[in-house]
Amino acid sequence: MSEENNKAISTTISMSDAPGSQLPRYTRLHRNLIWIPLLAALIPLAIMAAINYRQDANAYRAESHFVISRILSNTKRSLQFAIEERRAVLSLVARTNSRSELSSETRLMSILRDLRESFGDFVDLGLIASDGNQAYYSGPYQLKGVNYSDQPWFHEVALRGTYVSDVFMGYRHLPHFVVAVAINSGEDDFYILRATIDTELLMRQIYSLDLGAETDAFVVNSRGILQTASAFYGEVLDTVDFTIPPHVREREIIDEQPQPTGGSVAMGFAYVEGTPFILVAATRLEPFFQHWFYQRSDVIWFLLLSAVGILAVVWYRSRNIIARLREADAQRAKIFHNVEYTNKMATLGRLAAGVAHEINNPLAIINEKAGLLQDMAQHAEQFPQREKILKIVDAITNSVDRCSRVTRRLLGFGRRMDAVRERIDLRGLINDVLEFQKTEAAHRSIKIDVECEETVPQIQSDRGQLQQVFLNLVGNSYGAVADGGWIRISIKQLSPSEVAVSVTDNGHGIPASDLNHVFEPFFSTKGQAGTGLGLSITRDIVEKLGGIIEVTSEVGKGTTFTVNLPIEKVD
Amino acid sequence: MSEYRVLLVDDEEELVSTLVERLEYRGFSASYCTNGQDALKMLREESYNVVVVDLKLPGMSGVDLLQTIRTAYPHLPVLMVTGHGAGGNDGFQPPDGAFAFLVKPINIDELVAKMTEAIKAYEPGQ
């Protein structure tokens, strides 16, 4: 066994120790004391922050809507104008040139050259007869003689007189779209002038805007196919996955549209009249959060620091309150039980004194009568069976002496409730205490030793209270030792002003974890058998008498309670 | 040695009468009564060398009787006796004016010793 283990654990208990018995109740109370004020303080703060956030979010939403609206209205106007311009030019060419003039590839080529010079984005030019056959063609494709009569756009242009196509991937894999106009050349006869236009045109309209990284503008058709490249949604002719609202006159803005890169965007739609094109402008919402956090970092820091500060204050204060409450509870319980104990002892004392007194008088008569008999036997000249009578009288007076020792002890205990200072011989006091329990000691073969230094002086203290202290300690030892065990009481002088009485037993000992609590009210290892008050009251009495009590114990080896008492009590 | 006269005052007649007999065996001239009034009456009629008074008496208490005797007969020693365990070794002090305080059951030799001591202490010339 290591030296560490051999060392007995020693502790001195101070008054501030809290009782360990009602922990869950105090923990719950502590939790409530923290949460309620914390919530009361933090909820308004959180609401304030939420309101602030909402106001900012609304402001930002309004701002983003404004940006989208501006892009949509400007771009739509330019786009519409550009397409209209090309359709008008094509229409002008058709009207200023007769059909026969246009029925010449040289002429078509010359016109195409002029258009390219003016606009730059005309790719080809062709004349389609009413049977759908492309009769004349000028441009990079081999499209002469192609018949369009089974194509929907052919019928649309025949019906409406004008047509703008969706974007398609054309020559050299560049995106194009078609503008066509129909010219009536007599009853039931018409021809169509058709031009292919480079989508670059559309791009120019959009890329002339300085949009930045968080905003995107592009064109789709009603089937969700991109007509221009989009920064957010992909390349030309990719299909977008957001829902396109049905035709609206001006524009429509939808918040919280999903975005492929994650997050969401606010998105506005504007239909370009007379074309399949729908102009879309989108602006990301994420930067707003960063913006808010950045802008509101002071608010957020304030909020966090407030929360931490409130938590710290509430925690500290509530811990104090609980500690005080616990202390007050313990003190109240102790006072209550001290009063109860005092009353019990007073009642017991009165009872004992009454009994002792009632017995003392007849005892005194027996004593005197026996004494008289003795006197008579001794003084008479002739006394029959004198020797035998004297023996009998001796036996009677011895028994009376024994009885009177008992009654004196009882009377001594009865009168002990008020502190009385007197000179006390500790050895005599301890012997008185042991006298009460000597029968139990004999029955259980418990060996009791009292060691007392010859030089230990009398002390000034309260006899009754000291008797209670040692009755308690010796009683505890009786409870702890097994039959055949031993209890040793030693009395010695520690210093010129102090004596120590220790009560040691070889009983089962006290676990280290319990040792700190043995003097607390209601702490008991005896289960239902103990009140848990004995040692608490013992400590109170010892302290009241100006002393201290300490305990050392080792499980399986035994326990020592040591009471240090002043020789002269100083108040 | 002249015969000392002793007055015993105790309400327990059986006890006090026996004590009187026992004291007479020891050379005292003893008388007894069972209450304070009778004791004062007897003190007026006869002279005594020492009085032994029980603390608890019917009517006039032992302490009252003690005070009265101390005032009226300052040269008469008084011993107090009690059946209540408030004497001897437990620090209870005898009431003012009593020469000694004895606890029942009384040891006759102790009583004789204390009485003799008291009488000697109060003898003229001491």
Sole residue written with tokens 């002038």: A193
CA angle A512, A518, A523 (to 5 degrees): 115
Chain A residue with Cα closest to B109: A371
Sole residue written with tokens 């304070």: B36
Query: Which residues of chain B make contact with A426, given a CB cutoff of 8 A?
Result: none
> Does residue A152 contact residue A162 with C-beta atoms inside 8 Å?
no
Interface contact flag, B86 A357, Cβ < 8 Å: no
For residue A64, give the nearest of A281, A283, A217 by alpha carbon: A283
Residue A420 scores a pLDDT above 60: no
Choose among A360, A428, A463: nearest Cβ to B83. Answer: A360
Residue A10 scores a pLDDT above 50: no
User: What are chain B's domains?
Assistant: 4-122 (3.40.50.2300)
Contacts 24+ apart (CB under 8 A), A317-320: A318/A30, A318/A33, A318/A34, A318/A37, A319/A30
DSSP A149: T
* Whole-number average pLDDT of chain A: 82
pLDDT digits (tens, 9 = 90+) for A294-320: 777 777 788 788 888 888 988 898 889
Highest mean pLDDT among A193-202, A543-552, B36-45: B36-45
B24, B25, B27, B28 alpha-carbon torsion, rounded to 10°? -20
Tell me the average pLDDT across A102-111. 90
Lowest mean pLDDT among A36-40, A169-173, A402-406, A558-562: A169-173
Interface contact flag, B25 A379, Cβ < 8 Å: yes
Interface contact flag, B18 A372, Cβ < 8 Å: yes
Interface contact flag, A363 B88, Cβ < 8 Å: no
- For chains A and B, count residue pairs whose Cβ atoms are closer than 8 Å: 75
What does the pLDDT read at residue A16? 36
Report the percentage of chain A scoring pLDDT > 90.
20
Tell me the average pLDDT across A264-293. 83
Choose among A364, A412, A414: nearest Cβ to B15. Answer: A364
Chain B residue with Cα closest to A379: B25
- pLDDT-based confidence at A491, cuts 50/70/90? very high
Residue A326 scores a pLDDT above 90: no
Nearest-neighbour CA in chain B from A541: distance (Å): 19
Domain ranges in chain A are: 30-295, 420-571
Choose among B22, B83, B88: nearest Cβ to A368. Answer: B22
Choose among B85, B88, B104: nearest Cβ to A364. Answer: B104
Interface contact flag, B85 A420, Cβ < 8 Å: no
Tell me the average pLDDT across A540-552. 88
What does the pLDDT read at residue A8? 37
- pLDDT-based confidence at A13, cuts 50/70/90? very low
Nearest-neighbour CA in chain B from A363: distance (Å): 7
Tell me the average pLDDT across A211-227. 87
Interface contact flag, B104 A363, Cβ < 8 Å: yes
Interface contact flag, A368 B85, Cβ < 8 Å: no
Residue A7 scores a pLDDT above 80: no
Nearest-neighbour CA in chain A from B56: distance (Å): 11
Interface of A with B in 315-354 (CB under 8 A): 353
Choose among A356, A368, A420: nearest Cβ to B18. Answer: A368
Choose among A376, A400, A422: nearest Cβ to B91. Answer: A422
Q: What is the CA radius of gyration of chain B?
A: 13
For residue A258, give the nearest of A266, A268, A269, A248 by alpha carbon: A266
- pTM, two decimal places: 0.45
- Which CATH entry fits the domain spanning A420-571: 3.30.565.10, 3.30.70.120, 3.90.105.10, 3.40.190.10? 3.30.565.10
Q: Is residue B109 packed enough to be buried (19+ CB in 10 Å), middle (13-18) or exposed (0-12)? A: exposed
Query: Which residues of chain A make contact with B86, given a CB cutoff of 8 A?
Result: 411, 415
Nearest-neighbour CA in chain B from A323: distance (Å): 44
- pLDDT-based confidence at A36, cuts 50/70/90? confident
Interface contact flag, A364 B85, Cβ < 8 Å: no
> Does residue A179 contact residue A90 with C-beta atoms inside 8 Å?
yes
Query: Which residues of chain A make contact with B104, given a CB cutoff of 8 A?
Result: 360-361, 363-364, 367, 404
Query: Which residues of chain B make contact with A410, given a CB cutoff of 8 A?
Result: 85
For residue A125, give the nearest of A203, A201, A202, A191 by alpha carbon: A191
Question: Which two structure tokens, joined as six digits, stand for B62?
Answer: 């032992």
- pLDDT-based confidence at A515, cuts 50/70/90? confident
What does the pLDDT read at residue A17? 39
For chain B, say whether A423 makes contact (Cβ under 8 Å): yes
Choose among A368, A407, A428: nearest Cβ to B15. Answer: A368
What does the pLDDT read at residue B86? 46
Nearest-neighbour CA in chain B from A424: distance (Å): 9
Tell me the average pLDDT across A11-22. 39
Q: Is residue B33 packed enough to be buried (19+ CB in 10 Å), middle (13-18) or exposed (0-12)? A: buried
What does the pLDDT read at residue B5? 95
pLDDT digits (tens, 9 = 90+) for A108-152: 999 999 999 988 889 899 999 988 999 899 988 888 888 988 888
pLDDT digits (tens, 9 = 90+) for A438-457: 777 888 888 999 998 888 88
Query: CA-to-CA distance for A444 and A441, rounded, in angstroms?
Result: 5
- pLDDT-based confidence at A91, cuts 50/70/90? very high
Q: Tell the CATH topology of A30-295.
A: Beta-Lactamase (3.30.450)
Interface contact flag, A360 B90, Cβ < 8 Å: no
3-state secondary structure of A495: strand
Query: CA-to-CA distance for A136 and A126, rounded, in angstroms?
Result: 6
Interface contact flag, A365 B88, Cβ < 8 Å: no
Nearest-neighbour CA in chain B from A416: distance (Å): 11
Q: Is residue A571 packed enough to be buried (19+ CB in 10 Å), middle (13-18) or exposed (0-12)? A: exposed
What does the pLDDT read at residue B93? 56
Sole residue written with tokens 């169509």: A192
For chain B, say whether A195 makes contact (Cβ under 8 Å): no
Query: CA-to-CA distance for A203 and A277, rounded, in angstroms?
Result: 13
Choose among A365, A422, A423: nearest Cβ to B12. Answer: A365
What does the pLDDT read at residue B89? 40
- pLDDT-based confidence at A526, cuts 50/70/90? low
Q: Which is more confidently placed, A515 or A170?
A: A515
What does the pLDDT read at residue A531? 52
